[in-house]
Amino acid sequence: MKEKFEDASTLQNLWMPDQVSTIAPEVDSLFYFILYWVYFFLAIVVVGAIYFGWKYKSNERGTTQPLDHNNLLEITWTLFPLFLTMVVFFWGAKSYLKMNIVPYDAMEVNVKAQKWFFSFNYKEGFNSSELVVPVNRPVKLIMESQDVLHGFYVPDFRVKMDIIPNRYMVTWFEATKVGEYDILCTEYCGTAHSQMLAKVKVLNQEDYDKWLEKANVVDESIPLVELGEIIYNKNACNTCHSIDGSNMIGPSFKGIWNTTMEHTDGSKVLVDENYIYESIIEPQKKIIKGYEGVMPSYKGILRDREILGVVEYIKSLK
């Protein structure tokens, strides 16, 4: 918090998020340019209305002369706003292009949005539930949705892009300050878009290299049960499955091990390793009675050891 206020060179920072990308100051200055002109015209209208209301409040002065026209006034109130809107247009177009033309040397990260979480796939060959990037380096995001429309939004970066299913959506940013910033999904018309929270971690190059090295190996030293619990929280299983027996969007994990589940096709299946594996990789294959087939596939997202971890974790929830 202290850091926040040290940065607050103007009052503006009190009600806007920090400016942490190269584009943020540009977006804000155009925003304030428009905002201050709006205040200016608002003042003219309000002051004018009050003044004339007062001036002509009674008929004592008689009626005014019929007005014809006033060339100077009419030309002014046409040309001046035209000039202002043109400034806004060219300024906006310039920033818009800058936001949409990705620098050629940008580092690339693939982003996948699905109900109800983001995952970030690195070219080095692993997935992360956090977007971790080096500071002062352009980052290109190639985004796709596995199911419905989602939105990718980082307020501190002033970066926002819808993620439309069946196509790649591209955006980019260059973070200017080390720190941790919020990622939000901006679709609010579904069950849990508002809970699709994630973080961008901006590290200096050295820390980033270290993180990359570590993230790229599955840590064999973590016991399977703990790994399973990490996956449960990290990969959003917890938005649909409880561990205390209560039903959410999906069935609870508590006590399901070694029980039989009835499916919509009437078949009964024992919850064992194979069934859990299948539920995670091909969730639509068998749908449990009383539930909808809304679980996303984790194929290509969870590695084998991680799935084994989930199996052990479910076993442990007696």
Residue 189: CB minimum distance to Cu ion, A:
9
**Sole binder of Cu ion in the list 187, 229, 306, 312 (CB under 5 A):** 187
Asked if 240 is part of the footprint of ligand HEC (rule: CB under 6 A), the reply reads: yes
Contact 212, 120 (CB under 8 A): no
- Of 116 and 172, CB closest to ligand HEC: 116
DSSP of 119-163: EEEETTTEEESSEEEETTSEEEEEEEESSS-EEEEEGGGTEEEEE
Instruction: Assign residue 184 a region (left: φ > 0; alpha: ψ between -120 and 50; beta: otherwise).
Output: beta
Contact 301, 127 (CB under 8 A): yes
Return the structure tokens found at 161: 């892009």
**Sole binder of ligand HEC in the list 310, 312, 315, 317 (CB under 6 A):** 310
- Residues 19-44 as b or e (16 or more Cβ within 10 Å = b): bbbbbbebbbebeeebeeeeeeeeee
**Distance in Å from the first CA to the final CA of the chain:** 42
* Residue 227 interacting partner from Cu ion, ligand HEC, none (CB closer than 5 to 8 Å by kind): none
Other CB atoms within 10 Å distance of the CB of residue 187: 18
Q: Which stretch binds ligand HEC (CB under 6 A): 7-15, 25-33, 77-85, 235-243?
A: 235-243
Asked if 276 is part of the footprint of ligand HEC (rule: CB under 6 A), the reply reads: yes
Q: CA-to-CA distance for 209 and 212, rounded, in angstroms?
A: 5
Asked if 309 is part of the footprint of ligand HEC (rule: CB under 6 A), the reply reads: no
- Of 185 and 200, CB closest to Cu ion: 185
Residue 163: CB minimum distance to ligand HEC, A:
16
Asked if 241 is part of the footprint of ligand HEC (rule: CB under 6 A), the reply reads: yes
* Residue 276 interacting partner from ligand HEC, Cu ion, none (CB closer than 5 to 8 Å by kind): ligand HEC
Asked if 91 is part of the footprint of ligand HEC (rule: CB under 6 A), the reply reads: no
**Sole binder of ligand HEC in the list 135, 261, 281, 308 (CB under 6 A):** 261
**Sole binder of ligand HEC in the list 198, 298, 309, 315 (CB under 6 A):** 298
**Sole binder of ligand HEC in the list 113, 159, 288, 317 (CB under 6 A):** 288
* Residue 112 interacting partner from ligand HEC, Cu ion, none (CB closer than 5 to 8 Å by kind): none
Q: CA-to-CA distance for 84 and 38, rounded, in angstroms?
A: 11
Q: CA-to-CA distance for 41 and 64, rounded, in angstroms?
A: 26
- Of 19 and 145, CB closest to ligand HEC: 145
Q: Which of 183, 99, 114, 182 is nearest to 150 (CA)?
A: 114
Q: Which residues sit at the interface with Cu ion, rule CB under 5 A? A: 150, 185, 187, 193, 196
Binding site for ligand HEC (CB under 6 A): 115-116, 231, 235-237, 239-241, 249-251, 256, 261, 271, 276, 279-280, 283, 286-288, 291-295, 298, 310
